[in-house]
Amino acid sequence: DSGVTQTPKHLITATGQRVTLRCSPRSGDLSVYWYQQSLDQGLQFLIQYYNGEERAKGNILERFSAQQFPDLHSELNLSSLELGDSALYFCASSVDGRPNTEAFFGQGTRLTVV
Amino acid sequence: QKEVEQDPGPLSVPEGAIVSLNCTYSNSAFQYFMWYRQYSRKGPELLMYTYSSGNKEDGRFTAQVDKSSKYISLFIRDSQPSDSATYLCAMNPFGNEKLTFGTGTRLTIIP
């Protein structure tokens, strides 16, 4: 158990809908990352937050948004869902978000868009 | 062309064999190199981390980085069935926290 908690574990929703994925980082970790893992694209970095502020952005679609709250948990919002958004969404956390600091991954949320 | 290329496998080897996993990359700014292991239905977990070129050993695992060739390797000695997993290489430039991952190599160790 990495200490990073993601909910829900599984989510099935219809195209056009909006969903929210939640992540609780390890105790003491200030930085949260979101990744998307699909069969054809592999693990893709979406966005990073550090202590409530956005720190780095990857190939995150405009339909997707995220935030980190004062208690350091984070939410990833996905809207106007398309079939191609079906993937595993991982959250990771690290103490300080530096490149040489280990990031611990949660078990992921499997999103299926039908 | 992807920034990081990794042979997806699958790769099957007998127990006790030496396994070699590799990635090539195109971005010369990459300075930090990692190997993650991902078991089925789990999140990735960090195995090895190296900075710049050179070798690093940790138990049965050895990571090598050759920046001149833009090539990194992970060697697993005395492979065990419990090593069966998908292995992902990852890297990022100095000062930029976002990791760029390879697509992963699926490894099976046959008892």
- Is the separation of the CB atoms in A103 and A4 below 8 Å? no
Q: What's the confidence (pLDDT) of residue B95?
A: 60
Q: Does B39 touch chain A (CB under 8 A)?
A: no
The pair phi, psi for residue B68, each rounded to 5°, is -65, -30
Q: Does B92 touch chain A (CB under 8 A)?
A: yes
Inform me whether the pLDDT recorded for A100 exceeds 80.
no
Test A43 with B104 for CB contact under 8 angstroms. Answer: yes
User: For the segment B47-71, what is each residue's pLDDT rounded down to a tens digit?
Assistant: 998 888 889 999 999 999 999 999 9
User: For the segment B18-53, what is each residue's pLDDT rounded down to a tens digit?
Assistant: 999 999 999 999 988 999 999 998 999 999 988 888
User: By C-alpha distance, which of A103, A93, A107, A109 is closest to A51?
Assistant: A93
Test B88 with A42 for CB contact under 8 angstroms. Answer: yes
User: What are the angstrom distances between the C-alpha of B79 and each of B36, B60, B108?
Assistant: 16, 8, 10
Q: Does B49 touch chain A (CB under 8 A)?
A: yes
Q: Does B40 touch chain A (CB under 8 A)?
A: no
User: For the segment A17-57, what is each residue's pLDDT rounded down to a tens digit?
Assistant: 999 999 999 999 999 999 999 887 789 999 999 999 999 89
Q: Å from B23 to nearest chain A CA?
A: 14
- Is the separation of the CB atoms in B45 and A112 below 8 Å? no
Q: Encoding tokens for residue A75?
A: 């939410």
Whether a cis peptide bond, with omega within 30° of 0, leads into B10 is: yes
Q: Are strands B71-76 and B85-93 parallel, antiparallel or unpaired?
A: unpaired
User: By C-alpha distance, which of A51, A46, A53 is closest to A95?
Assistant: A51
